[in-house]
């Protein structure tokens, strides 16, 4: 079961965050995200589903913003 093994790369990043004393330090693994993009682009069905998923999450965030705006507008000045 591979999932029980912590990847050494993630371990390194966590060690670096601790060493710098910056636990909230944002780290983006660019090579991993490029590999993910390639994986999605390789298969037309995965590409299409990925576009749909992005659209849905964008719509979700817009509706969330609208809800919070509506809540804010109801607050007394």
Partner 1 sequence: MKQLVLRGVRGGIGATSLLAGLGIALHEQGERVLLVDLSPDNMLRLHFNVDVAHAAGWARAQLKAAPWHETALELLPDLHLLPYGELGGAEISRIEGQLCADSTCWAHRCGLVAHNYDWVLFDLPQRLPGHRAVVSEANRADVLIDLATPDPGCHVLLQQRPRPDADLLLINRFNPASQLQRDLLMLWRSQPKSNRQPHLIHEDEALPEALAHKLPIGHYAPKSLAASDLRSLALWCLAQRAKC
Binding site for partner 1 (CB under 8 A): 1-4, 32, 35-36, 39-40, 42-43, 45-46, 49, 52-53
Q: Check: CB of residue 47 under 8 Å from CB of residue 40.
A: yes
Contacts 24+ apart (CB under 8 A), 69-73: none
CB of 51 to partner 1, least distance (A): 12
CB of 44 to partner 1, least distance (A): 10
CA atoms within 13 Å, Cβ hemisphere of 22: 7
Residue number with CB closer to partner 1 (60 or 65): 60
Residue number with CB closer to partner 1 (10 or 69): 10
- φ, ψ for residue 57, nearest 5 deg: -70, -35
CB of 45 to partner 1, least distance (A): 5
């Amino acid at each position: 079961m591979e999932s029980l093994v912590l990847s050494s790369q993630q371990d390194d990043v966590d060690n670096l965050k601790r060493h710098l004393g910056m636990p909230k330090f944002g780290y983006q693994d660019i090579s991993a995200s490029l590999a993910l993009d390639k994986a999605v682009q390789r298969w037309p069905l995965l590409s299409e589903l990925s576009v749909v998923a992005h659209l849905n999450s964008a719509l979700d965030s817009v509706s969330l913003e609208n809800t919070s705006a509506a809540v804010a507008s109801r607050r007394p000045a």
